[in-house]
Structure 1
Amino acid sequence: MRFYKLLLLFSTVLVAQTEYPKDYFGVPVDIPILLSGNFAELRPNHFHAGFDIKTKGREGIEVHSVADGFVSRIKISPYGNGSALYIDHPNGFTSVYCHLQQAQGPIADFIRKAQYKENSFEVELFLKPTDLPVKKGELIALTGNTGSSQGPHLHFEFRDTKTEKIINPLHFGYDSFLKDTRKPTVAALYVYPLDDKTTVNNSKRPILLNLALQKDGTYLANKVSANGKIGFGVTAEDYDAASYSKNGIYKIQSHLNGKATFGFQMDTYSFDEMRYINALIDYPKYRKTGQRVQKLFMETPFPLSIITTDADNGVVTVKPNLSSVYQIDVADYFGNTTTITVPISYDMMSTIIEKEVVESNYFVKVNRENIFSKDNWTVTFPAGTFYDNFDMNFNVRGESLYLHDEMTPVHSSFTISVENEKYGADDSGKVYIADVDSRGRYGYNYTTKKGNVFTTKVKSLGRYTLAKDTSNPTISIGRSIEGKWISSQKSIDLTIGDSGSGIKSYNGYLNGVWALFEYDYKTRKITHNFSEGIVAEGANELKVVVVDNVGNSTTFETRFFRSQK
């Protein structure tokens, strides 16, 4: 444990001593840099990896390479980052550009050749330095809204080329493009009793503390009266002076009687650490209310490198005959700071609000493998699946497994298996273990079958059941083109969907030749642009085949005419 604390401290010192080039990189777009999301902002299951640069609510703005280098990686996907380009620079850093509408010039040609070679819209390509060299300021793409983007913008980030660690873009001189004189805003402060014996302000549940603004601009919280181990958590956000968008916090540091207890600073971290956001925040409150409370303590230590902590992991032990002062400093990158002071005293007060009752029949320990079985269901949790020990409810009712609830975060995959003789060889390929949400909707999980045992790996608690999908995917076209001349059209759009296990693949063919169709899962549309040059003069036959995750398929065919002149 002591080594772990020293390692965290050493990592922070290294970050503080790292010198990043301030004048090496240019800007990726020729419009003012206004952010709709900043580095390390709290997102579902991850910290945000870069800047979300506003593009005036539209697509098609030119994107330029921020320095000399070469395109080292290209990933085209309907999900996640959408269409993304990675450029390695000779100074050891990589710039990343995501949610692109389309690449430009030689990069676009390279992508198209790869897609037709692999007969796939989705491609991931790793390139040599000589394949696609670029110069600083060179046009590489147009901004878009592809992947999981919720609106037109450019996601832009920096990584260490060798380690692939993500780095705050502000360290590379981009702070000069952002004006920020506003202090972070603390929306809520909570105090948590951390064991069954502790009562805080007559409660064994987390308590929201009132904050009073002082004349010097700091805040004073309600007095905390407790008799054991407690911790604190804050909901905070930051706004710069130009974007008017809610951003994440750069730095938080707490002190107890002047000594540092717990803090974090958003400089750099690895992708392997992303999911630890669910340990840093009050996850049950987030799932219930959508509010993200950042905890300033760890009940069970977890290796998130941005955190520095004292020997007690930020936990405060309130002892008899001692009064303490707890202080929280919430700061942005520019040094604007909001300070909160919390007076703490010991008091053996009575409990008015009892601890919330949790239905449970098993106890799960974080650091060991846990295996539970009931009826025909078995669940195996490897060591390290969860962040904290907890009381778990494990039950089987009817044909469903009820695995606690979704309020408990899961860090890594665990295995669910069920023995069932109901499905024979003819239909077992259509059967999978589905997760069932609160509305009764089924979610597909890749499932294997050995004998009569179905097995899957998942990353969330909740309800699971066996589901059978025998329905075919759907394919539709907005306006029929059967037998028609469509010379004025620039593209063909179809809508695809599946009400069961979900779409696994789709392929389009023009006159028997594979044709590129781009897929946007948000609209469920696939689009073929005639500029691809596949369409023939005169008569054309179009065929589209869609397959779901258990092998059900649908074929759509039509015949149309087009003049290329």
Structure 2
Amino acid sequence: MMKYISITVFLLFYLQGFAQDFEAIDYQFPIKPGQQNYLAGTVGEIRSSHFHTGIDVKTGGRTGLPIYAVADGHIARIKVSASGYGYALYMKHPNGTFSVYAHLEAFDSRIAAWALKEQYRKESFEVDLFPEAGQFPFKKGDIIGYSGNTGSSSGPHLHFEIRDANHRPIDVLSLGFKEIRDNIPPVVQKVAFVTMGKDARVNGFFGRYEFDLIKTKNGYQTKEPINLVGKIGVEIYSYDPMDGIPNRNGIVKTTFQLDGDTLFHEYKEAFSFGKQRNVLVHYNYPAYKKGSRRFNKLYLADGNEHNIYNVVNRGVDFVDQEEILINTEDSYKNTSTTRILLSDEEIRITPKLYRPEQIGNYLHFKSKQQGSVLLDEWVPLKPYAESGEEHYYIWDLRDGTPKSLFIDGETVKTDLVGLLPSNQEISYVQKEFTLNLKRRSLFDTLYLAFEKEFDSLENRELFHFKNQTQPIRSNMEIVLNPEKGYNQEKAMVYSVFGKRYNFMGGEWENGQIKFSTRDLVTYTILEDTIPPSIELKMANADYLKFRIDDELSGIKSFKATINGEFVLMHYEPKRKLIWSQKLNENIPFKGKFMLEVIDNSNNGTIYTKEL
């Protein structure tokens, strides 16, 4: 009872603090106010590397819809970018809060004219501008821009946020906009249990196991009881449907109770941008990278510093508990309850363990013969469980990183090369590479795996860092020591995903190339000697339009001039198009036009035309 009282009191004070920001303003909806709107995304939705910080309002595949100021205020920031939020406006309101409108197609004419002058003054398409407080005032309901599909948007929509005075995005839907209808409770589709200790078991076995849930009149439940022993982490896959749309949106509140005791409570009311990357340890990143959904952990993982948790556990010791209760709630107070009955009787399953897997600090594998691990010498293991002809083994990696495993009469390489602890500056040196970690690079201990390969068909060196499922907090530096010779003016590092290459860059020094990354995947070194392509679409006295592309390293910069004078070219990378906008529409384009496009390996192409 005291736990419930403590949580309730905490939340009352917590919510009261946010309510003070919003109580003086009645915000209107930013697009099609008074009409039912539909969302493609909500606040708190788990994205690949962050929590979504706003709502994505659908525009029916169209652009150019009027966007309205949600309250009185002034434009505090104007940003134009080919990526990210694209064309975006940031509006400050009298109570200190901010509203953000992103992926716009165009700004209000006054804003657009001033931004255009600044683009010409700075001779840059991309600008980040901060007008004076009284320069662009607007009243609630004034049109400030028009919806679009700019930046990293994958389709026409409006991304809309409200931020508190400290620039923390808050749950927009908590303001109760009637334009959004949600009478459907969250769906809880699956539950997962992951062993967090060597003696922990899920239905008799070590590892991570997912279970489908079925819906009943009383909520969700597993098809049969679950037997849990030892330290276990609980996870769920859930989403929030809304009226009239099929999208799977985010859930703002989740509570986990065990036999009536609250062991976990999260509330996605506000977000700190500096902690956003912690989402990689909020959901089960390794499971996701192996093909699963993004399961919400109901425990605090090592290294997770996010501020959305009010009650946490770091894994629960299961002994003889009877019931797990999980409550999920969306922004419109619709709730779902999941009940999982726990059995004290041993329940046997057959794990789908096709290859050795790493679960936290442990290696888990099976073999029909006596299993062993190779350290300096072979160490025989005793199976912890058997199923049919299969014997199951656990190895604690803190006792050593084995070079190989003996499975079914064969030696299987692990490619493990070392153990790197978190929260330390480390320079780890191998013949093929050096890995330089900052103190904040890792969330948790890294069991580094690596293999060097030479692809004779493609004539390339492949540096396989085999920790694709390891979430990395912040950038680390990798120095590659290649054996081949390269044209160092054109050769750069690329990450390799099948036949696709992503440019990473790099700096050469003493025959080595160093680059910064947040992924331990496969890298190679490639030479880009082919300059970008420029394709004329239209060129006359009023308008210029081109398609620009680069097949390997990608576009780094472009610049257009007429008689040496800067001409602004808008850029849409998704369509690979650039097009002109005059500073003065009454002055025709006339004279020598020149367009220079440079790629990331500093290959350049120049196009000229007499206009």
What is the TM-score when the length of structure 1 is the normalising length? 0.88
1:517 aligned counterpart, secondary structure: strand
Please state how far the C-alpha of 1:362 moved relative to its aligned partner: 2.0
CA distance in 2, matches of 1:218, 1:349: 21
Partner secondary structure for residue 286 of structure 1 = helix
Identity %: 28
CA drift of 1:421 comes to 8.2
Deviations 1:457-491 (A, max 9, x none): 11111012233222211111247x5xxxx57xx63
Tell me whether 524-533 or 411-420 shows the greater mean CA deviation: 524-533
- Does structure 2 conserve the Cα–Cα contact (< 8 Å) formed by 1:280 and 1:295? yes
CA deviation profile, 1:364-392 (whole Å, cap 9, x unmatched): 32233343322141012223323333433
Matched with 2:54 is 50
Q: Secondary structure at the match of 2:277?
A: helix
Classify the secondary structure of the residue corresponding to 1:99. Answer: strand
- Give me the whole-angstrom Cα distance separating, in 2, the residues matched to 1:295 and 1:240: 23
Please state how far the C-alpha of 1:309 moved relative to its aligned partner. Answer: 2.8
Deviation (angstroms), 1:240: 2.0
Once the two structures are superposed, what CA deviation does each residue of 1:156-214 show, in whole Å capped at 9, x if it has no partner?
Answer: 101123x211111123342x332222111112111112233322113323222242433
Pick from 432, 439, 442: which aligns with 2:492? Answer: 432
2:447 match: 391
SS in 2 for 1:224: coil
- In the alignment, what sits opposite 2:201? 199
Task: Select 1:62's aligned residue among 62, 66, 69.
Answer: 66
* Structure 2 residue 501 is matched with structure 1 residue 442: yes
- Residue of structure 2 aligned with 1:168, choices 124, 148, 171: 171
Question: Which amino acid letter does the alignment assign opposite residue 463 of structure 1?
Answer: T
Contact 1:434 1:444 in 2 (8 A): yes
Q: Answer yes or no: is the 8 Å Cα contact 2:219–2:338 preserved in 1.
A: no
Checking the alignment, whether the CA contact within 8 Å between 1:421 and 1:452 is kept in structure 2 is no
Greater mean alpha carbon deviation, residues 380-389 or residues 467-476: 380-389
Q: How does 1:193-272 map to 2 (within 5 A)?
A: 193-220=195-222, 222-272=224-274
Distance 1:522 1:290 in 2: 29
Q: 1:340 aligns with which of 333, 338, 341?
A: 338
Partner letter of residue 372 of structure 1? Y
Partners in 2 of 1:520 and 1:290 — Cα distance?
33
Structure 1 residue 9 displacement after superposition? 10
Q: 2:294 aligns with which of 277, 280, 292?
A: 292
Which residue, out of 438, 447, 459, partners 2:518?
459
**Cα distance in 1 for residues equivalent to 2:305 and 2:552:** 39
- Cα deviation for residue 532 of structure 1 reads 5.1
1:498 aligns with 2:502: no
- Quote the residue 1:325 is aligned against: 323
> What is the rounded CA distance, in whole Å, between the counterparts of 1:213 and 1:290 in structure 2?
21
Paired residue secondary structure (1:107): helix
Letter in 2 for 1:357: P
Alignment of 1:395-544 (within 5 A): 395-398=451-454, 399-419=461-481, 427-439=487-499, 441-478=500-537, 486=540, 491-529=543-581, 533=585, 536=588, 540-544=591-595
Contact 1:268-1:306 at 8 Å conserved across structures = yes
Aligned to 1:21: 22
1:251-291 Cα shifts (integer Å, max 9, x gaps): 11100111111121111011112111110111122223262
- Determine if contact 1:71/1:86 at 8 Å carries over to the other structure: yes
Distance 1:277 1:402, change over 3 A: same
Q: Following TM superposition, by how much is the alpha carbon of 1:13 offset from its aligned partner in structure 2, in angstroms?
A: 5.6
Alpha carbons of structure 1 residues 394 and 370: separation in structure 2 relative to 1, 3 Å: farther
Q: 1 CA distance for matches of 2:565 and 2:14?
A: 53
3-state secondary structure, aligned to 1:42: coil
Give the corresponding residue for 2:356: 357
Residue number in structure 2 paired with 1:116? 120
Name the CA distance, whole Å, in 1 between partners of 2:143 and 2:584. 21
Bigger shift: 225-234 or 151-160? 225-234
Q: 2:427 & 2:197 partners in 1: Cα distance?
A: 26
1:87 aligns to what? 91
Residue type matched to 1:465 in 2?
T
- On the 8 A contact 2:203/2:346 being kept in 1, the answer is no
Q: Pairwise mapping of residues 70-109 of structure 1 onto structure 2 (< 5 A)?
A: 70-109=74-113
**Correspondence list, 1:373-384, <5 A:** 373-384=429-440
Distance 2:280 2:8 in 1: 22
SS at match of 1:328: strand
Of the structure 1 ranges 227-236 and 365-374, higher mean CA displacement relative to structure 2 is found in 365-374
Q: Is the 8 A contact 2:567 2:582 kept in 1?
A: no
* Structure-2 change in CA distance of 1:513 and 1:290 (3 Å): farther
1:9 and 1:308 in contact (8 A); partners too? no
Residues 8, 75 of structure 1: CA spacing in aligned structure 2 closer, same or farther, 3 A cutoff? farther
Judge conservation of contact 1:393–1:403 (CA < 8 Å) in 2: yes
Partner of 1:372: 428
CA gap 1:241/1:219 in 2 versus in 1, 3 angstroms? same
Deviates most, 502-511 or 190-199: 190-199
Q: More displaced, 469-478 or 354-363?
A: 354-363
Gaps of 5+ in 1: 1-6, 561-565
Residue 604 of structure 2: which of 541, 553, 560 is its match?
553
**1:318 deviation in Å?**
1.8
Mapped to 1, the partners of 2:216 and 2:161 lie a distance apart of 38
Larger RCO (CA within 8 A; separation ≥ 6): 1
After TM superposition, the structure 1 stretch with the greater mean CA deviation from structure 2, 361-370 or 85-94, is: 361-370
Q: 1:422 to 1:209 in 2, by over 3 A?
A: closer
Q: Relative to structure 1, is the Cα distance of residues 432 and 343 closer, same or farther in structure 2, using a 3 angstrom cutoff?
A: same
Q: Would you say the 8 A contact 2:174–2:331 is kept in 1?
A: no
Paired position in structure 1 for 2:316: 316
| Superposition deviation, residue 531 in structure 1 | 8.1
| Counterpart secondary structure, 1:361 | strand
CA shift for structure 1 position 301: 4.8
> Measured at CA, do residues 305 and 283 of structure 1 come closer, stay the same or move farther in structure 2, by a change above 3 Å?
same
The CA distance in 2 between the partners of 1:502 and 1:207, in whole Å, is 42
The answer (yes or no) to whether the contact 1:225–1:347 under 8 Å persists in 2 is yes
- Deviation digits for residues 30-77 of structure 1 (CA, Å, limit 9, x no counterpart): 353321211111112011111111222201111121122221111100
CA shift, 1:535, in A, is 5.5
Query: Is 1:21–1:173's contact at 8 Å kept on the other side of the alignment?
Result: no
Q: Is the 8 A contact 2:185 2:336 kept in 1?
A: yes
Change (3 A) 1:222 1:386: farther
SS in 2 for 1:536: coil
Which segment drifts farther, 8-17 or 137-146?
8-17
Pair 373,478 (structure 1): closer, same or farther in 2 beyond 3 Å: same
Cα pair 2:568 2:582 within 8 Å, conserved: no
360-369 vs 410-419, which deviates more? 360-369
Count of paired positions? 537
After superposition, the CA RMSD in angstroms is 2.6
Shift in CA distance, 98/210, structure 1 to aligned 2, threshold 3 Å: closer
Looking at structure 2, the residues matched to 186 and 83 of structure 1 have their Cα atoms a distance apart, in angstroms, of: 36
